[in-house]
Structure 1
Amino acid sequence: MSLFNWLQQRGLCLVAAFMCSGVHASLIVATADLPSCPPQPPFPDRELRLNAQRQATDRGFLWLISRDGRDSYLYGTIHAGRPEWFALGPKLESSLFRSGVLALEIDATDPAVLTELRRVSSGAARPLPADLMHSLRKAWVAECLPPADLDLGAAEYHATRLAVAQAQRAGLFPMYGAEAVLLLYSLRAERPVVGLESVDTQLSALLARNDEEAAAMVREMLAELQRPQAARSLERLAHAWASNDLRDLEKYPEWCDCLNTATERETYDRLVDGRNPGLADAIDKLHAGASVFAAVGALHMVGKQGLPALLQAKGFKVQRVF
């Protein structure tokens, strides 16, 4: 399973926790000057924002969805982005500001959501076999993550944080992901923000169902960190998103090298296509009362079970904008 597959499949819970955990961020920044550590995201100061604005273009995948005399929007996102993407393109910005509500996979501004995420990260540690725990600690230290964090919380949650660290090495940061930028624009405009899924739904995608599955998830992630193909797949997915290359995204199962086993294929089906009907139902209900800008991970947009297809089956007229 590719590194970005972990980030995209497991949705926004990890990204929200990473962005909102001030203690975690401060501990990482303390070691950020070490040459072997992942780079830290630059602060979005005036110079960075002006530079992003000069490069503003429509990235990702946007559809206009219409029914019952009302227009809404469906946007395929990337959960970690580059600082130069910290500005909306003209079509994206216009579509967002024509909508009445921003709908993300989860509402990261909800205090109850953040409380639940903190519980997962600071609760009782899940036991792992000694050799696996040793490997996890070794990888953890290599990414300059706080050693004490491994003494608390779900081990599979920690494994996913390693994927975030690897994305940072490629210059991709959660705080510059599409959802973070959309959220900032919407908060400034006082646009309502809602979640399409509950935090429990997202956590069921992030967390293992038992100790055996947790150990398997950690082993899988640690093995993935050693594969040169992982970085190439990460770059290709980011490039497909940034260049609006929907055709290449549709071929993702062919080139990601992440669906080689029955377990990997079952996980992908459960976490991507398996969540799409619930996401489509939530968008459908919101559209009945307001114009919605629904922003969901790009992998949820492709195939016969993708959100554009499911919404079309619900009677929406679905038109690709870019």
Structure 2
Amino acid sequence: MLQRTLSRRHIASLALAFAGLCAAANSNAASAGAGSCPPQPTPPSRELMLKAQQQATDRGFLWRISRNGRDSYLYGTIHAGRPEWFALGPRAEASLFRTGVLALEIDVTDPAVQSTLQDATQGPPRALPAELMQSLRAAWAAECLPAADLDRGAPEFHVSQLAVAQAQRQGLFPLYGAESVLLMRSLGGQRPVVGLETAQTQLSAILARSDDEAADMVREALAELQRPKANQGLARLARAWETRDFKDIEAYAEWCDCLNSPNEREAYARLVDGRNPGLADAIERLHADVSVFAAVGALHMVGPQGLPRLLQGKGFKIERVY
């Protein structure tokens, strides 16, 4: 779920990592020295959850959306988090428990979705130019990732795993992302979980459409990893989400340094704005039958093609909660 400070590979990886696509980055680190490898998350324990709950505060962006006498909620997320974020704030918690269904971008609890994602990440690899593959292997080894994993799956996912490792070095883990918390709370309360789009729809927006495009994506991603300020965009996005600074999210195009060329703008439009009409249609269909808590990446909330504006155009009353 886009290059430079928050590249296409960042959003793609963080959009999918909580679904388990980057499990190797989280659990299969090689035996290099602990000081050189990305830190690994520990499984959420009772102690971690209690500590997070004690300091729980509302983060992210929440709207109440109402039509035909029914209230639903739209929640802007990021797909990775810190251990201390592993709890919903009071208003998010109350809103979730007023609804009858949790809607995520994709339903990662669906075996069919898991199978589709598994096929995409474990299938035959694309051929990359030899020198580019050598550079990818060097970056892969630097993040303590298993060398054999490069022998299968699309290279777009490999650079996504490098992005996840980069996020882990900043203390941001898919395991602690907002979707993980929402899933835990919903499944524990026997609230149904549904997907707003299919896994194939999301993959079509993320995967390269040709070998040449895949090579370009890998080349750009590896170049970005070498930039001294490569992590600042992700850190700023996380800070804006944590502090509920929606104005900074709205100004993303001004500071991300990622929409400088026609190709970059086309990639962003395909991955973010291009998916929004389908997401809005799915929310509308769900709302017709049940109150829904729809949790979608925060960048999908921005601008005239953002979900709040699209749903307003469908006749929903939109009220910002925080």
Q: Which residue of 2 aligns with 1:161?
A: 161
Q: Which residue of 2 aligns with 1:8?
A: 11
CA–CA separation in structure 2 for the residues paired with 1:8 and 1:132 = 22
Could you tell me whether the CA contact under 8 Å between 2:14 and 2:78 is conserved in 1?
no
SS at match of 2:34: coil
Could you tell me whether the CA contact under 8 Å between 2:139 and 2:222 is conserved in 1?
yes
Deviation at 1:317, TM superposition (A): 0.2
Q: How does 1:260-271 map to 2 (within 5 A)?
A: 260-271=260-271
Q: TM-score, normalised by structure 1?
A: 0.95
Q: Which residue of 2 aligns with 1:143?
A: 143
Q: How does 1:228-247 map to 2 (within 5 A)?
A: 228-247=228-247
Q: Which runs of 5+ in 1 are unaligned?
A: none
SS at match of 2:231: helix
Deviation at 1:24, TM superposition (A): 6.4
Tell me the alpha carbon deviations over residues 134-179 of structure 1, each in whole angstroms, 9 at most, x when there is no partner: 0000000000111000011111111111111100000000011111
Could you tell me whether the CA contact under 8 Å between 2:13 and 2:164 is conserved in 1?
no
CA–CA separation in structure 2 for the residues paired with 1:88 and 1:231 = 26
Q: Which residue of 2 aligns with 1:258?
A: 258
Structure 1 residues 4 and 175: alpha-carbon distance in aligned structure 2, compared to 1, 3 A threshold = farther
Q: How does 1:1-322 map to 2 (within 5 A)?
A: 1=3, 2-3=5-6, 6-9=9-12, 12-18=15-21, 21=23, 25-28=26-29, 31=31, 34-322=34-322
CA–CA separation in structure 1 for the residues paired with 2:13 and 2:230 = 17
* 1:126 counterpart letter in structure 2: R
* 2:11 counterpart letter in structure 1: Q
Q: TM-score, normalised by structure 2?
A: 0.95
CA–CA separation in structure 2 for the residues paired with 1:170 and 1:10 = 15
Deviation at 1:7, TM superposition (A): 3.6
CA–CA separation in structure 2 for the residues paired with 1:32 and 1:235 = 26
Count of aligned pairs: 319
SS at match of 2:115: helix
Tell me the alpha carbon deviations over residues 234-276 of structure 1, each in whole angstroms, 9 at most, x when there is no partner: 1111000000000011001111111122111110111111110
Could you tell me whether the CA contact under 8 Å between 2:103 and 2:292 is conserved in 1?
yes
Could you tell me whether the CA contact under 8 Å between 1:102 and 1:294 is conserved in 2?
yes
CA–CA separation in structure 2 for the residues paired with 1:4 and 1:293 = 28
CA–CA separation in structure 2 for the residues paired with 1:8 and 1:101 = 25
Q: Percent of pairs identical after alignment?
A: 66
Cα root mean square deviation, aligned: 1.5
SS at match of 2:272: helix
Could you tell me whether the CA contact under 8 Å between 1:116 and 1:199 is conserved in 2?
yes
Q: Which runs of 5+ in 2 are unaligned?
A: none
Could you tell me whether the CA contact under 8 Å between 1:8 and 1:78 is conserved in 2?
no
Tell me the alpha carbon deviations over residues 274-302 of structure 1, each in whole angstroms, 9 at most, x when there is no partner: 11001000000000000000000000001
